[in-house]
């Protein structure tokens, strides 16, 4: 069991370091209190790992094109909301949650949506099928995702002190547009 946890941790951590959800977490942490971001992201990853473990070897049946198209729309809508909020006179984006639980909910939803059908989820499902030890795979994956998220939250929190909110918003919106274009291309190509 310990070997499966360690192998899963290593594979998932490496996969997640190069993934867009780390960027999403970093961005969220640059805008909101670190503890609230980490709480929302950690809860989303718990749900994501449970889904991936339950899915197991059936993950190969997920339709890639509709998922990529949906992600493209989500990325574009997110970019528009960010930019629209950036033009407000009071400096507070319209989509900015005003209570701690709304921040947690935003972080949860954003992370959950960005991880839907993600390579990390597929890796976890495949490892579950390979090792037939869902608990060990789930624990290893969850620990890896939480560790990488904690690093992203730490970095995002530090970034907030160095880069202005207006610049961060514009850069994030540009990144989301690029991700939307890439997702659109993936949806078209299949």
CA atoms within 13 A on the CB side of 181: 5
pLDDT at residue 134 in the model: 87
Report the chain's mean pLDDT, rounded to a whole number: 78
pLDDT at residue 59 in the model: 46
Rounded to 10 degrees, the C-alpha dihedral 122/52/20/174 comes to: 110
Q: What are phi and psi of 124, to 5 degrees?
A: -65, -45
pLDDT at residue 164 in the model: 72
* Segments in the chain below pLDDT 50: 57, 59-60, 86, 88-94
Q: Which domain holds residue 121?
A: 2-189
Residues ≥6 apart with Cβ < 8 Å to 80: 173
pLDDT at residue 94 in the model: 45
Of 120, 180, 124, nearest in space to 149 by CA:
120
CB distance 69 to 184 below 8 Å: yes
Number of domains in the chain: 1
pLDDT (tens digit, 9 = 90+) per residue, 16-58?
Answer: 876 667 777 887 888 888 899 999 999 999 999 998 888 764 5
pTM: 0.68
pLDDT at residue 37 in the model: 92
pLDDT at residue 152 in the model: 85
pLDDT at residue 171 in the model: 74
In the chain, DSSP finds a helix count (H) and a strand count (E) of 8, 0
pLDDT at residue 174 in the model: 78
């Amino acid at each position: 069991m310990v070997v499966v946890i360690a192998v899963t941790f290593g594979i998932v951590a490496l996969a997640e370091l190069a993934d867009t959800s780390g960027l999403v977490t970093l961005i969220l942490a640059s805008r909101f209190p670190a503890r609230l971001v980490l709480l929302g992201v950690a809860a989303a990853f718990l749900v994501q790992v449970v889904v991936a473990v339950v899915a197991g070897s059936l993950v190969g049946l997920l339709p890639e094109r509709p998922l990529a198209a949906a992600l493209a729309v989500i990325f574009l809508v997110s970019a528009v909301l960010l930019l629209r909020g950036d033009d407000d006179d009071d400096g507070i984006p319209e989509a900015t949650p005003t209570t701690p639980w709304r921040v947690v909910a935003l972080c949860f939803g954003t992370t959950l949506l960005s991880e839907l059908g993600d390579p990390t989820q597929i890796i976890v499902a495949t490892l579950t099928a390979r090792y037939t030890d869902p608990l060990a795979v789930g624990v290893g994956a969850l620990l890896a995702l939480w560790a990488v998220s904690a690093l992203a939250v730490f970095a995002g929190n530090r970034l907030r002190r160095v880069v202005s909110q207006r610049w961060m918003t514009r850069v994030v919106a540009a990144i989301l547009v690029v991700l939307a274009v890439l997702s659109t291309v993936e949806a078209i190509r299949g």
